[in-house]
Amino acid sequence: MSAGYGPLLTTSFPASGDLSSYQYHFMNLESDGQVALASATEAIIGILQDDPDAEDEGASVGIVGISKLYVDGNGTNIAPGDKLAANSSGHGAKTTTDLDDYGAIALEASTADGDIIKVLLVPGGLISAS
């Protein structure tokens, strides 16, 4: 068990820098093998489970299972079952855009930015309108 809500497979990657403010945020995997805060257009590798504070420090990233995630349900409300992509802050935000990468499915609702909700991590999730 992790610090999240249920069974969670984690693995360790070197941090790209100080990620101590980004526990429970979406991460992406950079070309050098380090993890960094994911932004709106990047593929999601998982959710950061701890708070490494220096480059190359081990970062525990949840890659499959149930985890906590900071979300932004302010602009578009999040309901259980919604697919979540990263926004510019690495928070989960509802997405329905065709061919959008998503990293998790909401298991709880949110109507505010900065909520922490339970999510199901989905590796390689890709929205398909068809």
Q: What is the mean pLDDT of each run of 10 residues along the chain (130 residues)?
A: 70 98 97 96 94 97 97 94 95 87 95 97 75
The alpha carbon torsion through 41, 39, 130, 120 (nearest 10 deg) reads: 160
d(Cα 18, Cα 23) in Å, to the nearest integer? 11
Residue 90's nearest CA partner among 18, 17, 25 is 25
Structure tokens given for 83: 């697919």
State whether residue 65 is helix, strand or coil.
Answer: strand
**Residue 129, pLDDT score:** 61
**Residue 41, pLDDT score:** 82
Structure tokens given for 28: 């992406």
Of the CA atoms within 13 Å of residue 87, those in its CB half-sphere come to 16
**Residue 130, pLDDT score:** 55
Of the CA atoms within 13 Å of residue 69, those in its CB half-sphere come to 42
With tokens 């990657």, the residue in question is 13
Structure tokens given for 56: 């190359």
Domain boundaries, the chain: 8-66, 69-126
